[in-house]
Amino acid sequence: MSPSTTGRRRGVRCPRRRSATAVFLACAALFAGALAGCGAPPELRPDAARALQTQVLAVTEAAAAEDPAGSLKLLDELATRLDQAAASGAVSFKRHQNIRASIAAVRTDLTARQATAETARKAAERLAAEKAAEEEAARAAAAAAPPAAVVVPAPVPANSGKAKAKDKGKD
């Protein structure tokens, strides 16, 4: 594999990217559902449609920014605006129910993403704590260990020269 493709396999998609795509598509469906339905009596007034579209866009942007908690908060605000619009007659009952179903689908996906992110965060914290504990144990073991003994070799006796004199006389 070349350095530019290290860690990536051809045809394999990143789960995070797949999840973000699913949220984007769900938000797009919600957006399309908010826009559709231009029947005889308007199921959705243009002013209400614009307000809901703005909120859907905010949810989509938060989801794309990998902020599931923020996305859920914005989704709650969207549901509140939808209910207010339905109460004022700006959204028909049928349209309200369809948009509510889309909101529920997006909420399910965002909740799953938030749980996954929380699990990953906790795992990273646990690994960091384990590593810190191992490093602390290694430092404590190094501090408690006795200093290494210094071995000094014994001095070698100097050669007195008597062995050489004996050999010279026998020749």
Give mean pLDDT, residues 55-66.
Answer: 87
Give mean pLDDT, residues 28-40.
Answer: 55
Mean pLDDT over all residues of the chain?
A: 76
Q: What's the per-residue H, E or C state across the chain?
A: CCHHHCCCCCCCCCHHHHHHHHHHHHHHHHHHHHHCCCCCCCCECHHHHHHHHHHHHHHHHHHHCCCHHHHHHHHHHHHHHHHHHHHCCCECHHHHHHHHHHHHHHHHHHHHHHHHHHHHHHHHHHHHHHHHHHHHHHHHHHHHCCCCCCCCCCCCCCCCCHHHHHHHHCC
Give mean pLDDT, residues 43-51.
Answer: 86
Give mean pLDDT, residues 130-147.
Answer: 84
> What is the structure's pLDDT at 79?
92
> What is the structure's pLDDT at 5?
47
Can you give the pTM of this predicted structure?
A: 0.53
Q: Which of 30-39, 101-110, 133-142 has the lowest mean pLDDT?
A: 30-39
Q: How far apart are CA 34 and CA 53, in angstroms?
A: 7
Please determine, for residue 3, whether its predicted confidence score (pLDDT) is greater than 50.
no
> What is the structure's pLDDT at 66?
84
> What is the structure's pLDDT at 7?
47
Which residue, among 60, 59, 106, has the nearest Cα to 78 in the 3D structure? 59
pLDDT tens-place string over residues 147-171: 666 777 777 777 655 555 555 555 5
Q: How far apart are CA 95 and CA 38, in angstroms?
A: 11
